[in-house]
């Protein structure tokens, strides 16, 4: 399989770990105790001036807050596959961090397979590829395969 010959790299460094149990890499404000994603681009709590951010791994599992898709290929800097298969996007609520993070849903799911409140876990998936590399991003994967079956 070509899958074994290409080198897998994150499309942009510093957003997630690449391992079996993938985690999103976020930030945790040391004084306020709140979180942000990505770790260097979060807004600050005005009640905790000059708070410092430490790097943390965010919860792997969350619940779908809402979902949609993009029936048409998004414009650059998105690199759309040809032929384009509509991407599905979910906004997922992490319980401990009490925040919502958007991401694509792994291949093979359509909006009909999803519902608000459905548990999902974070995975890595291919954003685009060239002859040498497979460029990865984080994606949400519904946790219980049987839920997909039920919907069908």
| Residues near other proteins, by CB under 8 A | 11-12, 15, 32-38, 40-47, 65-72, 74-80, 87, 89, 91, 96-104, 111, 116, 127, 137-138
Decide whether 5 or 75 has the Cβ nearer to other proteins. 75
CB closer to other proteins out of 95 and 150: 95
Rg (CA), the chain: 17
Shortest Å distance, C-beta 134 to other proteins: 15
- The answer to whether 63 touches 119, Cβ cutoff 8 Å, is yes
Name which of 102, 83, 77 is nearest 12 in CA terms.
Answer: 77
What sections of 2-151 are H helices per DSSP? 145-151
Minimum CB separation of residue 71 from other proteins in Å reads 5
Instruction: State the nearest-atom distance from the C-beta of 127 to other proteins, in Å.
Output: 7
Q: Which CB, 4 or 47, lies closer to other proteins?
A: 47
For residue 103, the minimal CB distance to other proteins (Å) is 6
How far apart CA 65 and CA 132 sit, in angstroms, is 36
Q: Which two tokens stand for residue 55?
A: 């790097």
Residue 1 vs 71, nearer CB to other proteins: 71
Angle made by CA atoms 117, 97, 124, in degrees to the nearest 5: 70
């Amino acid at each position: 399989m070509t899958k074994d010959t290409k080198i897998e790299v994150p499309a942009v460094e510093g957003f997630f770990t690449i391992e079996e149990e993938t985690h999103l890499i976020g930030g945790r404000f040391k004084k306020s105790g709140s979180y942000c994603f990505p770790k260097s681009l979060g807004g600050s709590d005005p009640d905790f001036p000059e708070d410092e951010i430490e790097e943390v791994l965010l919860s792997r599992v969350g619940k779908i807050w809402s979902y949609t898709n993009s029936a048409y290929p998004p414009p650059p800097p998105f690199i759309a596959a040809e032929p384009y298969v509509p991407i599905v996007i979910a906004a997922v609520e992490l319980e401990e961090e009490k925040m919502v993070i958007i991401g694509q849903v792994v291949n093979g799911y359509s909006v009909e397979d999803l519902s608000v409140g459905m548990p999902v876990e974070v995975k890595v998936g291919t954003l685009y590829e060239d002859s040498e590399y497979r460029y990865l991003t984080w994606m949400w994967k519904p946790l219980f395969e049987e839920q997909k079956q039920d919907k069908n």
